[in-house]
Structure 1
């Protein structure tokens, strides 16, 4: 890749798991009653036709990984498991009591934190409670329900894998990050290759049909040879999917765990710009040579995997869970800080753990903030989704002001001059050379970002 393009486009930008992105939600205009009315409408349209999606946030981790910017709570006290599962089930009951009919789950995902922090017994209790009030959608020729979860290789047991498999999960994702011991110590995430091999083979033996490994490039002390070694070790296990994420360096984002208190590196230890992008290109070339197909941004899959099938048939989707194979108009998020997306509105739960639990156990929806999408939001959201999932979009400028239209055309023309896109009066296409810059291309359409006067740091670098 041309180094001048990397330097030019390496700017802060969103990852676009939603639009508008959370920093630009109009929380002052958010109305709880309108949100609930819109939720009911989305449920009535989606539940019978396609089912709904459910995300469960399980926030606990036993130790702090200092590369991680997720909402998490660090503890070795496993007595916290029961009251948190109680709160999740109480929140689910609030929704199910209020919704007009029994939910049908097309997609279910357990994320974290570390879901495998919880014992198999508590996870079984959670699954039982969820399905006392809901049913999975029926399997069909186009596929069945898509249930998955995230496990830590160091504490995931065969009992974890079996319990969640018996609950319907056929996908599991293991956080690997990097196998270099120097990098592992720096990010406080020490896990031997043997642990990853064990859980991968156990999951495969149990019957999981999609096993994913998460790798991260741009971590401290990473070098070309260490990336080659990490990818080579990964390929010996041949996971069905690989997420090859860019490390998002956002040290200004705090959390309840004191995120960077144990950080074993300085900013100067991070590969940036051209050096960081070289790490990705090395990994990408090795994965493509091994038969993986590049999916959207930072994702790879073997041709048999449902993620690749969704790319081929045009049903690939992206939401707060990242790339998914299931598109529903309604995603309910349960748990502290979880986000719900009902197509026309977003809502985030209370981010304070104790307050979240108190509110749901008192019979209250734990609403923290939200955003009601405008017509313009919905139009731009679809454009960004198309670019992220299908490398192109339909676009029109008739609803823009003269100044906005001029600015848009000027920016698009610059991307075209750099060989990253092509476009005409109604369509835009991302070229193969432009795929590493998907975030930058989406930013051109982001009206909230264009109009923003905010100067504080909001996003990680796009490269």
Structure 2
């Protein structure tokens, strides 16, 4: 049984500053458009010299309507005529990329994100599942996950997802309060969510995640607690509960939310405290960075076993897996190479007809980047770095390499966020609430260029 975590509000308040979420290192704003194609292709060849496990990400950008808080790359509209050309482009992209991949590599994970993957019809879902298996070899126990919108999901689509091999689902909920739902342009009565959870469990889905957001218009600590109570009654296996990132300079539709009352910093802190304390008292393990899982869930077991990893979808259960992304704006992580596809639909459709890897931006890690990525990901996923083991793996004396950065952690050690001794660096339980802050001193790119990040709380 997990022990409840008690949140020290003054401490959290002290460290509430803008910072990256570290779904990658370096983070996506540092990707470039001038990486030579021959270097990209050589990195892909080198990565496929042996049969490493694979993860596939498919970005389905379509949504019937825009949720005004949304920060995703989307194509909005009820005209479904664009989906067939898009699916054809996905098929062509899979055909081209799979030719570069070691023939014995097995796919151990698939994730459909968006947008709204369940914008696709049941027939299109089945077709895409078949095409994936045509181009790639799937492991028998592959994790196959999909993000679903309960507002428009049908039972026929649930059966199609199951037929296509999906065994995990993530439900977008955000908040059950009707006033909040109206303000964010997402009307979704709780009964709708309840029905979809029942459908998914009846169909045999082994894991269900619920996405919530705090910091939206009209939310209060008590109103969000009511949403928690309702969703907890559904007994989800996991939660992803994000703080709303208000970035209208990137997503102009978010300006519409400013017509309403947005919770202030103190209210958001109180909401976070309630969320963490309640879920950890209800049997959920706090994974870190907005993620919670039941003790018997694979995500919690991966955290305990040290095999947790962090990628562009959040936390994942398998370390050492390369990610190949498909669809507009998707990001691939192939060894020390990051690739992002074109972010606009017309360019994506055109480029997939021309290039094996339709690159919008890319990044090749330097040796320093590799060392820092391994360090930051260890803190994010294991909350611990052993100096001797890390030095042997990275080929440097990490205590000396990060001498200045470790000295910068002294105030955090005084505040009880980390423990530092001759053997290593450990993030404490209270420090796990502030993982982003603890990683920031090790980020060599943080001060380069004009970047605007959401706040760490």
Deviation track 1:62-105 (CA, whole Å, cap 9, x = no partner) reads 11111111111111101111111000011000112333426521
CA distance in structure 1 between the partners assigned to 2:111 and 2:168 by the alignment: 9
CA distance in structure 2 between the partners assigned to 1:426 and 1:382 by the alignment: 17
CA contact under 8 A between 1:59 and 1:115: conserved in structure 2? yes
Match of 2:379 among 382, 387, 411: 387
CA distance in structure 1 between the partners assigned to 2:258 and 2:178 by the alignment: 14
- Rate the CA distance shift 1:453–1:56 in 2: closer, same or farther, 3 A: closer
CA contact under 8 A between 1:58 and 1:113: conserved in structure 2? yes
- Rate the CA distance shift 1:220–1:307 in 2: closer, same or farther, 3 A: same
CA contact under 8 A between 2:299 and 2:308: conserved in structure 1? yes
Helix, strand or coil for the counterpart of 2:343?
A: coil
CA contact under 8 A between 1:242 and 1:301: conserved in structure 2? yes
Helix, strand or coil for the counterpart of 1:98?
A: coil
Helix, strand or coil for the counterpart of 1:460?
A: coil
Helix, strand or coil for the counterpart of 2:452?
A: coil
CA contact under 8 A between 1:46 and 1:330: conserved in structure 2? no
Match of 2:258 among 251, 265, 278: 265
Aligned to 2:117: 115
CA distance in structure 1 between the partners assigned to 2:68 and 2:88 by the alignment: 29
- Tell me if 1:373 matches 2:365: yes
Match of 2:94 among 92, 95, 103: 92
Give 1:364 shift: 4.7
Match of 1:343 among 317, 335, 339: 335
Aligned to 1:61: 63
Aligned to 1:141: none
- Rate the CA distance shift 1:247–1:62 in 2: closer, same or farther, 3 A: same
CA distance in structure 2 between the partners assigned to 1:453 and 1:82 by the alignment: 41
Q: How does 1:28-39 map to 2 (within 5 A)?
A: 28=34, 30-39=35-44
Aligned to 1:5: 11
Match of 1:301 among 293, 301, 305: 293
CA RMSD of aligned residues (A): 2.0
Match of 1:14 among 20, 33, 44: 20
CA distance in structure 1 between the partners assigned to 2:200 and 2:248 by the alignment: 35
Aligned to 2:440: 443
Deviation track 1:347-397 (CA, whole Å, cap 9, x = no partner) reads 101111111101112455311110000111111111111111111224579
CA contact under 8 A between 1:52 and 1:328: conserved in structure 2? no
- Rate the CA distance shift 1:389–1:72 in 2: closer, same or farther, 3 A: same
Deviation track 1:126-165 (CA, whole Å, cap 9, x = no partner) reads 1111111212113xxxxx2111000000111112222122
Deviation track 1:401-423 (CA, whole Å, cap 9, x = no partner) reads 99x743x2442101111111111
Aligned to 1:175: 172
Give 1:260 shift: 3.1
Aligned to 1:164: 161
Helix, strand or coil for the counterpart of 2:125?
A: helix
Give 1:457 shift: 4.3
Deviation track 1:427-452 (CA, whole Å, cap 9, x = no partner) reads 11111111211110011111111xx2
- Tell me if 1:462 matches 2:453: no
- Rate the CA distance shift 1:401–1:458 in 2: closer, same or farther, 3 A: farther
CA contact under 8 A between 2:221 and 2:270: conserved in structure 1? yes
Q: Out of 96-105 and 438-447, give the one that drifted further.
A: 96-105
Helix, strand or coil for the counterpart of 1:137?
A: strand
Aligned to 1:199: 196
CA contact under 8 A between 2:129 and 2:165: conserved in structure 1? no
Show structure 2 runs of 5+ residues with no match.
1-6
Helix, strand or coil for the counterpart of 2:233?
A: helix
Show structure 1 runs of 5+ residues with no match.
139-143
Q: Which consecutive aligned stretches of 4+ in structure 1 deviate over 6 angstroms post-superposition? A: 399-402
Q: How does 1:282-361 map to 2 (within 5 A)?
A: 282-361=274-353
TM-score normalised per structure 1: 0.91
CA distance in structure 2 between the partners assigned to 1:151 and 1:389 by the alignment: 26
CA distance in structure 2 between the partners assigned to 1:225 and 1:18 by the alignment: 34
Give 1:27 shift: 4.4
Deviation track 1:200-247 (CA, whole Å, cap 9, x = no partner) reads 000000100101111111222210111110000001111111111111
CA distance in structure 1 between the partners assigned to 2:445 and 2:398 by the alignment: 15
- Rate the CA distance shift 1:196–1:293 in 2: closer, same or farther, 3 A: same
Aligned to 1:23: 29
Deviation track 1:1-50 (CA, whole Å, cap 9, x = no partner) reads 4444333211110100000001223544x222222221222233344xxx
Aligned to 1:135: 137
CA distance in structure 2 between the partners assigned to 1:198 and 1:54 by the alignment: 29
Aligned to 2:220: 223
CA contact under 8 A between 1:102 and 1:133: conserved in structure 2? no
